[in-house]
Amino acid sequence: MTGRISEETKLRDEIAAVGKSIFDRALTFGSTGNISARLSNGELLMTPTNASLGDLDPARLSRFTAEGVHVDGDKPTKEAFLHQCMYCRGKMRGAVVHLHSTYAVAVSLLEDIDPADVLPPLTAYYVMRVGTLPLVPYFPPGDVALAEAVAERAEASHAVLLANHGPVVAGKTLREAQYATEELEETAKLFLMLDGRRIRPLTASQRQDLLDRSS
């Protein structure tokens, strides 16, 4: 019992630290975005509704059973199902970060992106940390149909981009999910900066080699 409490306390503090780091660097704003992480017993800790990631109280995080039932903490975000979809599609996933980050959202608004894989392989770290980024069609926040659309794409990719909304990224650990989300945002920024110019992305063989190395 003591071990579980210690694990939970540490994870609560880490969620608050990651949230503040993300907020302080303007990757999120106001009360947008949410973070979750999974305990070894399958329970989830998640940032609650109307909470700023820059000012989280670790003791007030929403806690869910392994079956997805809210059991204590503040009222959960209406986007909790986005996190649960990502966990259900990957047994090794231990954390999820969802942001409304500016450059990723901007890319999600473009008409001519590939819905199967939104961003080209511009850098090695993007390929290794994100891999592929399918686009999920627009649904209003909280719409159950959004959960089904996310689940469909999350089986083959640990990161998805919600149209007109933002990225949802899973990782084995919270730091892994954080770093992948940040890599995605920086790559989206690069992509927009290079708009209209001829680019030289990684080749298919270079991309595959990186995926093989990181698998």
Active site residue 183: no
Out of 125, 138, 152, 179, which one is annotated catalytic? 125
Cα–Cα distance, 193 to 144 (Å, whole number): 35
Out of 8, 79, 176, 182, which one is annotated catalytic? 79
Cα–Cα distance, 153 to 155 (Å, whole number): 6
DSSP letters for 51-80: --GGG--GGG-EEE-TTS-EEESSPBPTTH
- Residue 12: half-sphere exposure toward Cβ, Cα within 13 Å: 17
Phi, psi of 193 (to 5 degrees): -65, -30
Active site residue 125: yes
Q: Where does residue 145 rank: exposed (0-12), middle (13-18), buried (19+ CB within 10 A)?
A: exposed
Instruction: Indicate which residues carry an active-site annotation.
Output: 79, 125
